[in-house]
């Protein structure tokens, strides 16, 4: 006798929570996520379909496989995963469970998802994050990003939360430091939405930006100004030294 799972037909997509690492494409034109466990080698976008990581050609999720996207029902359970050493720089995702799914006691395994909200944690120093910077690792064609405060930027290439949301697209919302960060056009960005180490970026402030959004943008701008002041001081020291030797 074939075992059949109970069928559910919800009136709206179930909500789940998971953690992932934010990533930026090599050319700086796309943003997405990569998982922290099974399937972590396959970055995905805001709206994505799962595939079997073992290369099997069955429908996802298959009850005799562990393929598909995974999430938990409880937000606190997902936040607890961020305490692990390897997950400290990950972000919290609130997702809509789409397509076929299998419900478990603690969460779902499912075929399709939409990331609705991204919550960015604190900088490694403990301060609230105002940017996402190169984490120093990645996947083929993708650079992993990590939360960073304005004081720790030190001229490193960075992407504002609003800039990440713009590149990720599909209406995703980004929350940083407990405050809502605007989704859509805006953010501190150079070519491709990335702040270049060697140049000053423009700051867009579209209508509708509130205090949290402007504070985040101001922190990035201040960090850039601090970096330029350091560079100018070094150039002045070199210039004065050269004159004295003349």
Query: In order along the chain (246 residues), what is the average pLDDT of each group of 10 residues?
Result: 69 94 95 88 92 79 85 95 92 95 91 96 90 93 93 85 94 72 40 34 43 56 62 72 49
| E strand intervals along 81-130 | 91-103, 107-120
pLDDT, residue 143, reads 94
Q: How many CB atoms lie within 10 A of CB 241?
A: 9
Please say whether the beta carbons of 154 and 221 come within 8 A: no
Write down the pLDDT at residue 237. Answer: 73
Q: In this structure, what is the dihedral angle of CA atoms 37, 43, 47, 50, given to the nearest 10 degrees?
A: -60
DSSP 3-state assignment of 20?
strand
Residue ranges per structural domain of the chain: 15-232
User: CA–CA separation, 42 vs 20, rounded Å?
Assistant: 12
Question: Residue 230 has what pLDDT?
Answer: 65
Sign of the CA dihedral with 85 first, then 33, 113, and 38 last: negative
Q: How confident is the model at residue 232, as a pLDDT?
A: 73
Give dist(CA 81, CA 92) in Å, integer.
Answer: 9
Residue from 189, 232, 231, 179 nearest 209 by CA: 179
* pTM confidence score: 0.69
């Amino acid at each position: 006798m074939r075992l059949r799972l109970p069928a559910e037909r919800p009136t709206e997509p179930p909500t789940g929570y998971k953690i992932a690492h934010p990533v930026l494409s090599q050319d700086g034109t796309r943003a997405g996520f990569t998982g922290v466990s099974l399937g972590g080698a396959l970055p995905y976008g805001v709206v994505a379909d799962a595939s079997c990581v073992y290369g099997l050609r069955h429908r996802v999720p298959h009850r005799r496989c562990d393929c598909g996207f995974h999430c938990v029902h409880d937000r606190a359970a997902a936040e607890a995963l961020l305490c692990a050493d390897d997950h400290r720089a990950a972000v919290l995702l609130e997702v809509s469970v789409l397509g076929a799914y299998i419900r478990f006691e603690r969460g779902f395994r499912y075929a399709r998802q939409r990331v609705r909200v991204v919550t960015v944690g604190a900088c490694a120093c403990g301060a609230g994050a105002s940017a996402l910077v190169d984490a120093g690792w990645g996947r083929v064609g993708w650079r992993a990003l990590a939360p960073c405060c304005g004081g720790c930027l030190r001229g490193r290439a960075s992407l504002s939360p609003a800039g990440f949301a713009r590149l990720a697209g599909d209406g995703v919302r980004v929350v940083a430091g407990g405050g809502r960060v605007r989704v859509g056009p805006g953010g501190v960005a150079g070519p491709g939405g990335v702040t270049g180490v060697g140049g000053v970026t423009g700051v867009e402030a579209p209508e509708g930006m509130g205090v949290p959004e402007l504070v985040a943008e101001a922190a990035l701008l201040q960090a850039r100004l601090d970096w330029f002041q350091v560079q100018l001081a070094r150039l002045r020291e070199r210039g004065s030294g050269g004159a004295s030797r003349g």
